[in-house]
Structure 1
Amino acid sequence: MLDRLKFMLGFGRAYRAARKAGASREDAQLAAARTMIGDRLGFDIEDAEIAELPAGVAELWRDPEPAFASEDAGGNGFGYAPFEITPAHLVLLRQMRFSWDGAERGAPMLDPARPYGRRDLMAQLAEVFPGEDAPTLAQRHVEMFFVLARVLVHGRLSSGRYILRNIEPDDLRAALRGYGGDDELSDADIGLDADGAVTVGDEHLKLMRDTQIRWPSEWDCEERLDEGAYPAAAMDSKRPYGDMTFIEIDMARILGRLPPAPPDGVFEPEPALAAHLQRLHWQMLGAMQAFVENAEIAPGVYDLNAAE
C-alpha cells in the first residue's frame, strides 16, 4: 500500500511538472510514466545509450533457466548448484556498480544501465571473455548472479572505512533520495562519513551472508529491456534477508536481536531497534558496493549452501 501511494504521489508530481513545461495531457502522462520507471530502475531512461542486442541475447536474459538446466540437474534450483568462479568472473566482480531497486522495501541491485560500469555491456563482456559468441557472453552475464550470491557468502572483508571506486557519494545519495520523509536521509543514515567513505560494520557483514540474491522476474526483465536497460542480479526487494516481507524479523534474527515471541504472535520491534534496522537496510547499498570492490575470494568451486 505504501509503495502504491509513493508511486501515485511521484507520478502526480512528474505529471504536473510536465504540464507546467507545456506538455499535452498525453505527453505529460507518458513523461510521468517514464520518470517513475526510471526512478524504479535507478537511472534516467532518457539518457540511456544502450546498443542493440544481438539476436537471442534478450530472449536468454528474459528466461535464463533453460540455458542452465544441466548445471541445475540433481535437484538444485536455478543458480543453486555448485559453481566455479574463474579469474574472469572476478574481473567483472570488481567492476560491479550498484544502484537501488525502489520496489517493495527497496534493496541494492546491479545498475540496470551499466552493471559493470559501462553502457556497452556486450562489448565489455567480450573483452573479459575473449573469443566467445554472443549467446555465451549473455550466459556469462547471468553467471554473475551466481558469482555475486557466492561471493557474499564466501568472501571475506574486515569491518572498517572504504572509499568506493565504482560509484560516488552523490550516487548513494541520489539512489536513496525520497526515503526518510520530509527531512530526507542524512549521510550518516546511508553510511557515509564526512570524507565520503562508507563504513562497513559487523552487522552489515552478518546481513550480507543472508542476503537473497536473485535474477529479475521475466516481467521485470521485459520492462528493463523495453526501456533500454539490462536485466542483472539484484537483492530481493520484497524478502531481502529471508522468508519474511516484514524484513525486520529476518534482520533481527540474523543479528541475534529477535526477542521472545509475544503472546499474540505479532513481532513489533521497539522503536529504537526498528529505526536501527531500517538504517542498516539503507546502508547495505554502500556496504555491498564496498564488499564487491574489496572482499577477498579466490577462484574456485563454491557451494552456495555451504558457508566456510
Structure 2
Amino acid sequence: MIRRQLISLAGALTASSLGWWWLRKDAAAEDRHDIIRSVFSANALPAFTAQHLLLIRQLRVNWVPEESGAPGIDPVEPLWHSSANVNTSTEADSALSIALHILQTTDRTRATRLLAEVCLLIPEFVASAMLPAGNYSLPSGFAQPRQRLLANQLFQFLPAHQSLLNAAQWREVSSDSIEDLLSDEDPNQPLWPMPYIDGKRPYGNRSYYQIDMAELLGQPYAMNAQGKYILSPDKDQALASLYLQTQGALQVLFMYGTPGTPIQG
C-alpha cells in the first residue's frame, strides 16, 4: 500500500520520552492530523493560490527507490530551506517550521492546511506547468547518482523532460488511505502525504517504461513481423539515462515553471 511505502521511505524512526511535554506534543499532532484529514476528505481540489505556489517552489525532490525508481517529494523533509532564521530544532515537524518561514506567517493551522493541500495539487501542477528549455540552478545540496549537471549546479532542462513530466503517472495517498497513514505515523517524525511518480509504470501501462517514453517522445521502437518490439540496447540506455534526469527536471519545474492552472485570490 502507498502509506506503507511512504513510511518505509522515511527510514528508521526514533523513540521519545514520556511526560507533560509528550502530552503537549501528542495534542499538537492530533490537531495536525485533523487538519490533514479535512483536506483529504474534500470532494474537490483546493483552489490554487499564490501561497500554494510559494510552497511548491521550495519542494524537495528525491529519488524514490520503488521498482525502477522515480522522482518524488520527501515525505519527512518535503521543503528546502537555506535561511539561518529557520530554527527547526524547536519544532517537532521541521517542515512546518520551514512552511511558516516561507509563508511569512505564525498561523500554524493555516500553514499546515496549505502544505497538506500542496500534496493534492502537485500532480495537476506538474501535468500543466511549462518551462522553457535552458539551464537552471538547482538547490545547494541537491544530488543524485549519475545526475546530468553542468558546472555550478546547473541542470539543462530539455523539451523531452517537459513532455515526460507532463505525462507522468503519480502514486498518491487517497482519502481512503490517509487515516491509515496518520495512525501509523511516529510523532517524532511526522510524515506529509506527498505523492511520487509511479516507479513501475511512470508514463503509461507498460512496466518496460522505455517503450512508453519512446512513444511519448515521438520515437517509438520498431516492431518485427510478429508485432513485437525490437528493443535496441543503445536506445534502451539512452532512454534510461533520460529517465534518471527527471529528478533534476522535476526539481527545476517546481522552482521555475509557469503554472498551467490560474492562480486564485
| Fold similarity call, TM over 0.5 | yes
Unaligned runs of 5+ in 2: 1-5, 15-24, 82-92
Q: 1:79-116 CA distances to partner (integer Å, 9 max, x unpaired)?
A: 5xxx5310100110111111111011111111222111
Could you tell me how far 1:130 is from its partner in structure 2? 4.9
Distance in 1 (CA, whole Å) between partners of 2:74 and 2:97 is 17
Q: Is the contact made by 1:87 and 1:299 (CA closer than 8 Å) also made in structure 2?
A: no
Asked whether the 8 Å contact 1:96–1:117 carries over to 2, the reply is yes
Aligned to 2:249, which of 277, 287, 296?
287
Alpha-carbon separation, structure 1, partners of 2:149 and 2:10: 19
Find the aligned partners of 2:38 and 2:243 in 1 and give their Cα distance. 29
Q: Does 1:159 align with 2:119?
A: no
CA contact (8 A) 1:145 1:214 kept: no
The 1:236/1:141 distance shift into structure 2, 3 A limit, reads: farther
Flag the 1:42–1:242 CA change in 2: closer, same or farther, 3 A: farther
CA distance in 1, matches of 2:226, 2:203: 24
Task: Give the corresponding residue for 1:12.
Answer: none
Partner of 1:30: none
Residue of structure 1 in register with 2:210 after alignment:
248
What is the aligned counterpart of 1:172 among 143, 148, 168? 143
Q: Which moved more, 1:150-159 or 1:211-220?
A: 211-220
Instruction: Say if 1:197 and 1:129 are closer, same or farther in 2 by CA, change over 3 A.
Output: closer
Describe the shift of the 1:264–1:64 C-alpha distance in structure 2 as closer, same or farther (beyond 3 A). Answer: farther
Residue 140 of structure 1 corresponds to: 114
Structure 2 CA distance for aligned equivalents of residues 130 and 241 of structure 1: 38
The residue identity in structure 2 corresponding to 1:242 is G
Letter aligned with residue 194 of structure 2: A
Quick check: 1:258 aligned with 2:233?
no
Match of 1:199 in 2: 156
Which 10-residue stretch deviates more, 247-256 or 109-118? 109-118
Q: Say what the alpha-carbon RMSD is for the aligned residues.
A: 3.7
Q: What is residue 225 of structure 1 aligned with on the other side?
A: 185
Deviation at 1:206, TM superposition (A): 1.1
Indicate the percent of aligned positions where both proteins have the same amino acid: 23
Aligned equivalent of 1:94:
57
Specify the alignment match of 2:20 in structure 1.
Answer: none
Instruction: Give me the whole-angstrom Cα distance separating, in 2, the residues matched to 1:245 and 1:280.
Output: 16
Cα deviation, 1:193-213, whole Å, max 9, x if unaligned, reads 243311111111111110123
Larger RCO, structure (CA 8 Å, separation 6 or more): 2
TM-score by length of 1: 0.63
Do the aligned partners of 2:131 and 2:258 also contact (CA within 8 Å) in 1?
yes
Matched-pair contact (CA < 8 Å) for 1:145–1:213? no
Is the Cα–Cα contact under 8 Å of residues 240 and 247 in structure 1 kept in the other structure? yes
Query: Which residue identity is paired with 1:41?
Result: L
1:9 match: none
* Equivalent of 2:9 in 25, 41, 46: 41
What's the offset of the Cα at 1:243?
A: 2.4
- Flag the 1:56–1:104 CA change in 2: closer, same or farther, 3 A: farther
Q: How many pairs align? A: 234
SS state at 1:153 partner: helix
Q: CA deviation at 1:141?
A: 2.6
Q: Tell me by how many angstroms 1:117 deviates.
A: 2.2
Query: Quick check: 2:171–2:195 contact (8 Å CA) kept in 1?
Result: yes
